[in-house]
Amino acid sequence: MVNNKIPQATAKRLPLYYRFLNNLHIQGKDRVSSKELSNAMKVDSATIRRDFSYFGALGKKGYGYNVDYLLGFFRKTLDQDENTPVALIGVGNLGTAFLNYNFTKNNNTKIEVAFDADPSKVGKSIGKIEVHHVDDLEAHIGDIQVAILTVPVSEAQPMTDRLIQSGVKGILNFTPARITVPNDVRVHHIDLAVELQSLVYFMKHYPLDVE
Amino acid sequence: MVNNKIPQATAKRLPLYYRFLNNLHIQGKDRVSSKELSNAMKVDSATIRRDFSYFGALGKKGYGYNVDYLLGFFRKTLDQDENTPVALIGVGNLGTAFLNYNFTKNNNTKIEVAFDADPSKVGKSIGKIEVHHVDDLEAHIGDIQVAILTVPVSEAQPMTDRLIQSGVKGILNFTPARITVPNDVRVHHIDLAVELQSLVYFMKHYPLDVE
DNA sequence: AAAAAGTCGTGAAATAATTCACGAACGAGT
DNA sequence: ACTCGTTCGTGAATTATTTCACGACTTTTT
């Protein structure tokens, strides 16, 4: 279950690989080379081979990789067979978008329950997910371990504390707040304003084909 | 204008630094140490000092950094004085969320115009931004150089090609497609499904305080 | 005025990630 | 069978990033 040998940079690319292989599978393609993968995913082919090699010799020299075999391998590696339930905290603009977004499409994750502090939203269902009041968080979160946090920045830390109290071990944080958590809880930040600003900075200061 | 000396990892953190300093400024704080910044932003204090040092000696030994001075410096560095107009392509769930989201708050970027292929959306205004039909892209995009791409995956590459034809030089791509662009165009990908899946993978395979 | 405590800036070390480049193996064509 | 072209897997080199650790200097305290 524990696997510390895989570099983090590699681990971050695994879902990308998985989805792309899944697409190839659907298209009926049965073999693929690191070069083709590289062109499609914009990752250097040597990096792809190196990434795969951490899991063993998955390909054949002179041939490439068998799509189905590779896909099956990644399915196991990424635990695609078991579903991961997710709670959404904060049904604002972004939260609503996620409720309507079908994560499950290429993915084993699914938002099972949503919470908001606004009484006018409570009781409604958005994208088939029922919205509960945040006051009832503890009553409805069950043993869900993953949360998407799309609350106002002032609520980020208090809500995080409650989530952790309820047993959540992973948070995808869309608020600008850098939340504090115990070290057995994993947080990934996605800060949309920062991403946009960062893009602009790179455009102005890193001309041509850098990265 | 061109600045290739700054490591990319540093450049990605600049907007984060800027926003945090801005908050400190608003709070009326006039000095701050790398240690405090580190606690708040969850970035190692040595990394912060190193990052700042690429821009020169901005602090004082034994004292820390002057918030206003640092903020002013980053304002210039991040070109916060000039506004950057942005076009939004695709007014679906996610696109609508962005239109309602106020990027300008801590930021010099602003969505100026939006496009969608759905006639029922065209002509409406969402968050004060008028929605045009994508067919009229060329007529209404003007000389906007930055685009947020929130279209269905099948439209990603064709729309990218048109954006580039219209002079766009930077794309924030929220589609799962890895788009192909000339090497003077910068693309940053944010793939929400991948981020969620990645979080789950890290939770299961990288226990405790890794990262 | 001196001592103590704090903090930066940075050389150097450590760690992480990418990329090069090539031997070995395979498939296809003749 | 043999040759040619392809492609993996990986040692080694390179590049990028983080972290340590300490001298130099500032502020605060006594």
Instruction: Give per-residue pLDDT as tens, A22-43.
Output: 999 999 999 999 999 999 999 9
When CB atoms are compared, the residue of B8, B98, B106 closest to A211 is B8
A44 shares contact with chain B (CB less than 8 Å)? no
Model pLDDT, residue A82: 87
Q: Which residues lie below 8 Å from residue A105, measured CB to CB, with a gap of 6+? A: B193
For residue B60, give the nucleotide whose C1' atom is nearest its CA.
C8
Q: Which residue has the higher pLDDT, B209 or A51?
A: A51
Determine whether the annotation assigns residue A64 to a binding site.
Answer: no
Q: Looking at this protein, which amino acid is placed at residue B90?
A: G
For B123, other C-beta atoms within 10 Å of its C-beta total 10
Is B28 annotated for ligand binding? no
A76 beta carbon < 7 A from strand D? no
DSSP secondary structure letters along A61-122: TTTBEEHHHHHHHHHHHTTTTS-EEEEEE--SHHHHHHHHS-GGGGSSEEEEEEEES-TTTT
pLDDT at A206: 82
Is residue B67 within 8 angstroms of chain A, CB to CB?
no
Distance CA A111, CA B207 (A): 23
Please name each of the domains of chain A with its CATH number.
Answer: 8-77 (1.10.10.10), 84-194 (3.40.50.720)
- B64 labeled binding residue: no
Q: How far is B81 from chain A (nearest CA, A)?
A: 13
Could you identify the residue written with the tokens 């279209």? B151
Structure tokens at A62: 């002179």
Measured in angstroms, the CA of B57 and the nearest CA of chain A are apart by 21
pLDDT score of A5: 83
| Residue A34 and residue A64 in contact, taking contact as beta carbons nearer than 8 Å | yes
Q: What is the pLDDT of residue B3?
A: 55
Mutate to test the interface with B, among A184, A192, A202, A209 (most CBs of B within 10 A): A192
Residue A211, pLDDT score: 43
Number of helices (H), then strands (E), belonging to chain A: the values are: 8, 9
Min Cα–Cα distance to chain A from B7, Å = 10
**Nucleotide closest in space to B58 (CA vs C1'):** C8
Check CB contact under 8 Å for B198 and A11.
Answer: yes
Which uninterrupted H or E stretch holds B109? strand B109-116
Q: What is the pLDDT along chain B (211 residues), one digit of tens a residue?
A: 445 589 999 999 999 999 999 999 999 999 999 999 999 999 999 999 999 999 999 999 999 999 999 999 999 999 888 899 999 999 999 999 999 986 767 678 999 999 999 999 999 999 899 999 999 999 999 999 999 999 999 999 999 999 999 999 999 999 999 999 998 999 999 999 999 999 999 999 886 544 4
| d(CA B187, C1' C25) / Å | 38
A210 carries a ligand binding annotation: no
On whether the CB atoms of residues A164 and A181 are closer than 8 A, the answer is: yes
Return d(Cα B104, Cα A197) in angstroms, integer: 10
Which among B191, B200, B205 has the least Cβ separation from residue A146?
A: B200
The helix or strand, by DSSP H or E, that contains position B189, with its residue range, turns out to be strand B186-189
Q: Which nucleotides of D are covered by protein (CB under 7 A)?
A: 5-11, 16-21, 23-27
Q: Tell me, letter by letter, the H, E, C secondary structure of B92-145.
A: CHHHHHHHHCCHHHHCCEEEEEEEECCCCCCCCEECCEEEEEHHHHHHHCCCCC
Chain A contact set for B192 (CB, 8 A):
98, 101, 103, 190
What average pLDDT score do residues A52-70 get?
Answer: 95
Question: What integer is the mean pLDDT of A48-52?
Answer: 97
Assign A130 to helix, strand or coil: strand
A191 at interface of B, judged by CB pairs closer than 8 A: yes
Task: Report pLDDT digits (tens) over A62-111.
Answer: 999 999 999 999 999 998 888 999 999 999 999 999 999 867 676 789 99
* A23: CB partners within 8 A, 6+ apart: none
Dump pLDDT digits (tens) for A129-184.
999 999 999 999 999 999 999 999 999 999 999 999 999 999 999 999 999 999 89
Task: Find all residues with CB under 8 Å of B61, minimum gap 6, and list them.
Answer: none
Predicted confidence at residue A60, as pLDDT, reads: 95
CA separation, residue A185 to residues A90, A168, A169 (Å) = 20, 8, 5
B77 Cβ neighbours under 8 A, 6+ residues apart: B14, B55
Q: How many CB atoms lie within 10 A of CB B115?
A: 27
Residue A22, pLDDT score: 95
Confidence (pLDDT) at A3: 55
Q: What is the pTM of this model?
A: 0.94
Residue B110 near residue B84 (C-beta atoms within 8 A): yes
Chain A contact set for B12 (CB, 8 A): 198
Place of tokens 């090497």: B183
DSSP SS3 for B184: coil
A167 is an annotated ligand-binding site residue: no
Shortest alpha-carbon distance between residue B63 and chain A (Å) = 25
Give the closest nucleotide to A59 (alpha carbon vs C1').
D8
User: What is the reported pLDDT for A88?
Assistant: 98
Verify whether the Cβ–Cβ distance B107 to A197 is below 8 Å: yes
Q: Among candidates B19, B170, B23, B124, which has minimal Cα distance to B80?
A: B19
Kindly identify which residue of chain B lies nearest to residue A169, measuring between CA atoms. B203
